[in-house]
Amino acid sequence: MADMNGNDKPPEQFLFTKAPVARRFGAYLVDFGILTVILNFPFNMGLIFVVINALTPDGLIGALITFCIILLIIFLALGFRDTIKGQSIGKRVLGIGVRDVSDNFVVPSASRLFLRQIFWIISPIEFLVLVFSNDNRKIGDKIAGTDVYNVREYEEFINNAKHAENLKQAEGVEHVQTENTALPPRVIEPYKPNKAKIALIIGGVVLAGLIFIGALVFGITAMLRNHPSYHVATDSIRTNPEIVEMIGEIESFGFMPTGSVTAGPGRGDATYRIRARGAYGEVRVFVELQMRGGGDWEIVRLDFVPI
């Protein structure tokens, strides 16, 4: 059979070549662009739902759950993008694919293909490892025992071989493989995953994701609590005679206020829902503030209900 280079050798003699880093990066950009288009609308609608619910009483937990679901969908979409024959849409377009590093003719299992992709959350580090490591394999490939190869070359090789075989059969030429040209069987050492190590890695990635979400929520809460408008709101609650009469002197405020702040040159608007605790009970306070002409923040509306 004739391969793409015109040399006679059966498919077993075909050697896969590693996909260039540039082509792998191009496939990533294609995949990321497609997923961005597909997930853009549901992601934006989800964020709107989160913002609306975060501003309603007891809506923060539901908003956080929705936000976590959005992140989970994105994580799964990126994690499972190579599970069909080891090729995402971007890889298929550029003619590359994921294969077992010990036997390039084998497409890894879906679990291994997912395992190699869970490190996309540290994509900058993965890219640096891919570019500067000696074998040009990213962390996920090293863990899952995989690599990315030019699979289009093999497809072209098979097509050329089949075409050459058809020509020989049409000419009545019988192909005989002599003992001198017989190939020794390929000795393949299958990939043996370390289940404990893989479980530890997955657990670490999940923990890192939870830490990221927690840090994000904590950061947003900290920004709200440190904003000048929030201090004006809490001071107004402390000195409000009706609130003090109902629950006594204010002892503390809830750790996670919800609300929003929009500010521009010389003006701003803010809304908060704050839980205030006193000696005799608790109230949930809705405060609306505004700032105009570069002046101080002022209370526009303040309502409260007992809890």
By percentage, how much of the chain surpasses pLDDT 90?
Answer: 10
pLDDT 10s digits, 120-157: 778 788 888 888 888 888 888 888 889 999 988 888 87
Strand (E) or helix (H) holding 127: helix 123-132
Strand (E) or helix (H) holding 45: helix 21-54
What is the SS3 assignment for 58-71? CCHHHHHHHHHHHH
What pLDDT was estimated at residue 16?
Answer: 87
Domain edges within the chain:
11-175, 227-306
Maximum Cα–Cα distance for the chain, whole Å? Answer: 105
2 band by pLDDT with thresholds 50, 70 and 90: very low
The whole-number average pLDDT for the span 1-21 is 61
State the architecture of 227-306 in CATH terms.
Roll (3.10)
The whole-number average pLDDT for the span 207-213 is 70
Q: Residue 26: what residue type?
A: G
- DSSP state, 108? P
DSSP string spanning 155-196?
Answer: HHHHHHHHHHHHHHHHTTPPP---TTTPPPPPP-------HH
User: Shortest CA distance to 283 belongs to which of 224, 240, 228?
Assistant: 240
* Distances 243 to 26, 224, 234, 289, 304 between C-alpha atoms, Å: 60, 22, 12, 18, 8
What pLDDT was estimated at residue 12?
Answer: 53
Query: Could you give the angle at the alpha carbon of 23 between the alpha carbons of 15 and 41, nearest 5°?
Result: 130
pLDDT 10s digits, 239-292: 899 998 898 888 888 877 778 888 778 888 888 888 899 888 899 999 999 998
